[in-house]
A and B are shown apart, each in its own frame.
Chain A
Amino acid sequence: MSQVSITAEVKRPNLTRRLFPSVVSGIVLGIIGAVVFGVIVNAITQGNNQDATVVSVYIGWVLLFFVGIGAFNGVWRWGFARGEATPAEELELAGKDQGLWRYFRYTTDHKVVGMQYLATTLIFFFLGSMGAFMIRLEQSRPGAIFFTPSTYNTIVGMHGILMIVASIIMVSGPFGNFVLPIMIGARDMAFPRLNALSYWLLFSAVPIFFSTLFFGGFPTGWTGYAPLSVQELTPGMDAYCVTIIIFAASTTLAALNIVTTVMVLRTRGMTWGRLPIFVWGVVLSVLLGLSAFPTFLISQVMVLMDRVFQTSFFIAAYGGNNWLYEHLFWFMGHPEVYVIALPSMAVAAEVTAVFSRKTVFGRRMLIGSLVTITILSALVWGHHLYTSGSATALDAPYMLDTELISIPTGFFFLALIGTFWRGKVWVTVPLLFVGGMLVNFVIGGITGIYLADLPTDEILHGGMFVTAHFHFTLVGSMVFGFFAGFYYWFPKMLGKRLNPRLGALHFWLFMIGFNGTFLSLFYAGLIGEPRWSANVAPPFATANLIASLFAILIAASVFVTVYNVVITLKSGELAEANEWGGKTLEWTVPTPVPLENFEHLPVVTSTPYDYGTPEPLAEDAEGALKPAPLLPQPES
């Protein structure tokens, strides 16, 4: 591998070069594109097809936004330039010497993309949790309080999509981009430009998603079920469809990039058997996404065709069928739970090993169980159609498949508890979140068995029990896993140490608030409260009031986190390069991590959890990993 010194060649860009291309030029051109496309299509359809106009506005926005931000420059260059990009141009594209402004450009450095994903995830979580709080406010007592039923439904749908999107990207986006390449000893992702594209696709979907508020919202909830989504709804539904299509494209690009990176850019000695658990979790998750999300994309293309071109994929009167939507949706929708779960579970295993100062118990068993979950999860979507009246002959196989997943999931608990066992446990904020995740995951998992079983699902489906179950699984388990990773890798990513007291306060407020809220909703579901109801009926008032009061604690925990992040960035202590004494490669590089991560690529000679010996290899041995100094790095 050749090294080229180009330090002197990189020029500091002037103001024009800073703005063009950047997010500013992207937004300006995007707005122009939206207006032009909208006017043209409106003229062609003579104002008779509102959906066509709205969709063309979105297409104009996305296309021209990407022209403006410079996404096509690399494509053009690939085909028509006289030569390949020079090393200096590559470094400029990676954001060299551009300071904070590189976060607002089409920057290819994987760490920049990781930080962009982290900021976006946190903003989504903040907005989504505020939506959740509005839902709990509305449901705190019977009758309409603040919102009309239609507005309430839109808030529920937006909360759902925001949280689902945020939880899909929450680990693979920030940590999969920032940490994963360093963990495998790579200098960047396999396709840095695609990496930037996957993030900016997500970004371009944000204004489209929120534009639904100006077009009447989408009262279908996050699932966007047809035929409701294709009948008599405002153009707000188009925003949902286009958002999903762009998001599916974004995750597909991110997935193929991550898988390729791990396949071809592992450093010498980093065999598949030595890959950290976290890398396994992310790779399996994105592989699952790669095979699951295209069906979701196609389902939304069909919905848009039904709405814009008057096709009838889902209209029974013309030979269409709503079951088609349900199959396409849940073929993505159930694996999607594991797309979220696998990397979070892997983070938990990673954090547990570090803070127990032990190798992961049954490491191969754990990897095997993650692989098994990946395979089984692609075969269980039919349990979402138990009560739809579709193909009852398949209910038993789906029931069996779904319950089989509990076996490899059980191995995950066994592996973590085995790791704690006789470990030198160091109770830190990340480990608190792992503990919370284990407790909540037991509740979420066991209540899931009742929904996997057809006889009990017949009673419980469509009720608050389901809501409480999937919140325990996705939030109580997987979002807790994300926060374990957030507190664990924050010092490496941001170079500052989050206040541990505020971190612990965040954990306890969240844990108590979450359990109080959703255990109450389990009870409400058991006594028969339906899920999709804007107004609470009097028999369920007490359970809902308790849930709403506990939700105040969750909201408080959100503000504690925001405060902690802000004061840490402003005046927090500098973190050590190896803050926790971790053995994986990201802790061997300095903080801030330099562009291209490693001066010389490391050679790996052992598994990453070798706490039995102080160093994997004698420090003076050829190819030995040099641990980062346990002192703050000089400021850049």
Chain B
Amino acid sequence: MSTSLEQIHEEHTHELAPHIRIGRARAGVLMLILSDAVSVIAILAAGGYLNALNTENQFRVAGDHASAFVPGLLLAIALVVSGVAYFGWERSVRKSAGAGLQLFFLVALIFMIVSAVGQTWVSIILNRGYVSPYDAYESVITLITWFTAAHLLLTVIIGVLLLGRVMRGRVRVAGQNYIAGVVGYWWYYTIIASILLWLFSLVV
């Protein structure tokens, strides 16, 4: 068969210019955030809509409860600490061309891990208190808590990968320090989305 399914063998490879790599990473993460934000908005809108409809007055019945306030508050504080620490690391990476204060990053990652584990624990405890079949309110709260846990878990995975790069010195390499900033977009977004969802679960 002599078609384009076959290929030419003599090739060269061309590397992307640094400013294109940076633009590419920024645009990609921002697009991902845009798409994910629509998911968050869909969840918030769904909860608000079911609450407003209150079908057959069964949206929230006596005994329905959200997750306890104090654990939620502690998780929110942990997330804020994680965000501030990440910002500190990112800033130091930017200023010293890659050689940032890695302690800040470790603090950010540890608090993110604590938040993810804590959120999972909150979700498990919460669901133990609900009786199947869950009513609409319990369904919304369940979705919010587990969605947040999954979000935080994903950020932990990204953080662990980034930690690998930091330990290998691959953020310090010339032209690679933009990675701290780009991952930061997702890091801050996750924190904001998680706190927003928690606040929503308190008022819905």
What is the interface of chain A, defined by CB distance below 8 A to chain B?
1-7, 75, 78-84, 87-88, 90-91, 95-97, 99-100, 102-103, 111, 115, 187, 190-191, 194, 252, 255-257, 259-260, 263-265, 290-295, 297-299, 301-302, 305-306, 309-313, 315-321, 323-324, 327-328, 331, 492-496, 569-570, 574, 590-596, 599, 635-636
Given contacts A256-B32, A302-B46, contact A313 B17 (CB under 8 A): no
CA distance A530 to B164 in the complex (A): 60
A/B interface sample: 30 pairs, CB < 8 A: A6-B12, A7-B10, A79-B161, A87-B15, A90-B13, A96-B9, A96-B11, A99-B7, A100-B5, A100-B6, A264-B20, A265-B24, A292-B38, A294-B42, A295-B42, A302-B139, A302-B143, A309-B134, A312-B138, A315-B136, A319-B58, A319-B60, A321-B50, A324-B50, A331-B42, A494-B5, A569-B3, A591-B4, A595-B8, A636-B6
- Chain B contact residues, majority secondary structure: helix
Q: A3–B12 contact, CB under 8 A?
A: yes
Q: B56–A319 contact, CB under 8 A?
A: yes
Going nearest first, the 10 A-B pairs with the smallest beta carbon separation are A79-B161, A319-B136, A319-B58, A311-B139, A256-B31, A79-B164, A592-B4, A319-B59, A495-B4, A87-B13
Look across to chain B and name the residue whose beta carbon is closest to the beta carbon of A5. Answer: B12
CA distance A2 to B28 in the complex (A): 23
Nearest CB of chain A from residue B131's CB, rounded to whole Å: 10
CA distance A293 to B31 in the complex (A): 13
Q: A313–B11 contact, CB under 8 A?
A: no
Q: A312–B13 contact, CB under 8 A?
A: no
Q: A305–B143 contact, CB under 8 A?
A: yes
**A311 in complex: contacting residue of B27, B42, B61, B138, CB < 8 Å:** B138
Q: B32–A319 contact, CB under 8 A?
A: no
**A305 in complex: contacting residue of B4, B6, B39, B139, CB < 8 Å:** B139
Q: B161–A319 contact, CB under 8 A?
A: no
Q: A594–B168 contact, CB under 8 A?
A: no
Q: B38–A294 contact, CB under 8 A?
A: yes
CA distance A197 to B110 in the complex (A): 30
CA distance A88 to B139 in the complex (A): 51
Look across to chain B and name the residue whose beta carbon is closest to the beta carbon of A599. Answer: B12
Considering residues A84, A292, A309, which has the most beta carbons from chain B within 10 angstroms of its beta carbon?
A: A309
CA distance A492 to B142 in the complex (A): 51
Look across to chain B and name the residue whose beta carbon is closest to the beta carbon of A311. Answer: B139
Look across to chain A and name the residue whose beta carbon is closest to the beta carbon of B2. Answer: A635
Q: Which residues of A contact B170 (CB under 8 A)?
A: 83-84
Q: A290–B31 contact, CB under 8 A?
A: yes
Q: B28–A260 contact, CB under 8 A?
A: yes
Known: A320-B50, A495-B2, A636-B7. 15 other contacts (CB 8 A): A1-B15, A3-B13, A6-B13, A82-B168, A187-B14, A259-B31, A298-B42, A298-B43, A311-B134, A315-B133, A316-B55, A319-B55, A321-B49, A324-B49, A592-B4
Nearest CB of chain A from residue B159's CB, rounded to whole Å: 10
Given contacts A78-B165, A324-B50, contact A301 B143 (CB under 8 A): yes
Chain B residue total in the interface (Cβ 8 A): 62
B137 within 8 A of A: yes
Q: A295–B38 contact, CB under 8 A?
A: yes
Per-residue A-contact encoding for B40-62, CB less than 8 Å = 1, 0 else: 00110010011001111111110
Q: B2–A574 contact, CB under 8 A?
A: yes
CA distance A302 to B143 in the complex (A): 8
Q: Which residues of A contact B193 (CB under 8 A)?
A: none
CA distance A468 to B105 in the complex (A): 59
Q: B39–A294 contact, CB under 8 A?
A: yes
Look across to chain B and name the residue whose beta carbon is closest to the beta carbon of A84. Answer: B170
CA distance A459 to B127 in the complex (A): 46
Q: Which residues of B contact A595 (CB under 8 A)?
A: 7-8, 11
CA distance A115 to B161 in the complex (A): 32
Q: Which residues of A contact B58 (CB under 8 A)?
A: 316-319
Look across to chain A and name the residue whose beta carbon is closest to the beta carbon of B53. Answer: A321
Look across to chain B and name the residue whose beta carbon is closest to the beta carbon of A265. Answer: B20
Q: Which residues of B contact A3 (CB under 8 A)?
A: 12-15
Given contacts A7-B10, A82-B168, contact A313 B46 (CB under 8 A): yes
Q: Which residues of A contact B32 (CB under 8 A)?
A: 256
Look across to chain B and name the residue whose beta carbon is closest to the beta carbon of A258. Answer: B31
Q: Which residues of A contact B11 (CB under 8 A)?
A: 7, 91, 96, 594-596
Q: B134–A312 contact, CB under 8 A?
A: yes
CA distance A471 to B139 in the complex (A): 37
Nearest CB of chain B from residue A31's CB, rounded to whole Å: 25
Q: A592–B50 contact, CB under 8 A?
A: no
B162 within 8 A of A: yes
CA distance A148 to B37 in the complex (A): 43
Q: Which residues of B contact A78 (CB under 8 A)?
A: 161, 165
Q: Which residues of B contact A590 (CB under 8 A)?
A: 8
**A496 in complex: contacting residue of B3, B49, B134, CB < 8 Å:** B3
B23 within 8 A of A: yes
Q: B8–A264 contact, CB under 8 A?
A: no
CA distance A4 to B55 in the complex (A): 65
Q: B50–A494 contact, CB under 8 A?
A: no
Q: Which residues of B contact A6 (CB under 8 A)?
A: 12-13
**A592 in complex: contacting residue of B7, B56, B163, CB < 8 Å:** B7
**B7 in complex: contacting residue of A79, A95, A264, CB < 8 Å:** A95
Q: A328–B42 contact, CB under 8 A?
A: yes
Q: B133–A318 contact, CB under 8 A?
A: yes
Q: A636–B46 contact, CB under 8 A?
A: no
Q: Which residues of A contact B49 (CB under 8 A)?
A: 321, 323-324, 327
Look across to chain A and name the residue whose beta carbon is closest to the beta carbon of B11. Answer: A595
Nearest CB of chain A from residue B132's CB, rounded to whole Å: 4
Q: Which residues of A contact B7 (CB under 8 A)?
A: 95-97, 99, 102, 592, 594-595, 636
Q: A290–B46 contact, CB under 8 A?
A: no
Q: Which residues of B contact A317 (CB under 8 A)?
A: 56, 58
Q: Which residues of A contact B139 (CB under 8 A)?
A: 302, 305-306, 311-313, 318, 320
Q: Which residues of A contact B203 (CB under 8 A)?
A: none
List residues of B (126-183) whose CB comes within 8 Å of A's CBs. 132-140, 142-143, 160-165, 168, 170
CA distance A607 to B56 in the complex (A): 60
**A291 in complex: contacting residue of B9, B35, B132, CB < 8 Å:** B35
Q: A80–B12 contact, CB under 8 A?
A: no
Nearest CB of chain B from residue A265's CB, rounded to whole Å: 7
Q: A80–B46 contact, CB under 8 A?
A: no
**B4 in complex: contacting residue of A75, A327, A494, CB < 8 Å:** A494
Q: Which residues of B contact A292 (CB under 8 A)?
A: 38
Look across to chain A and name the residue whose beta carbon is closest to the beta carbon of B15. Answer: A2
CA distance A11 to B85 in the complex (A): 45
CA distance A257 to B8 in the complex (A): 26
Considering residues A1, A100, A263, A298, which has the most beta carbons from chain B within 10 angstroms of its beta carbon?
A: A298
CA distance A441 to B34 in the complex (A): 32
CA distance A298 to B150 in the complex (A): 14
CA distance A298 to B55 in the complex (A): 21
Nearest CB of chain B from residue A84's CB, rounded to whole Å: 8
Given contacts A263-B27, A319-B58, contact A493 B13 (CB under 8 A): no
B16 within 8 A of A: yes
Q: Which residues of A contact B1 (CB under 8 A)?
A: 569-570
Nearest CB of chain A from residue B84's CB, rounded to whole Å: 24
Nearest CB of chain B from residue A547's CB, rounded to whole Å: 38
Per-residue A-contact encoding for B55-71, CB less than 8 Å = 1, 0 else: 11111110000000000
Q: B165–A319 contact, CB under 8 A?
A: no
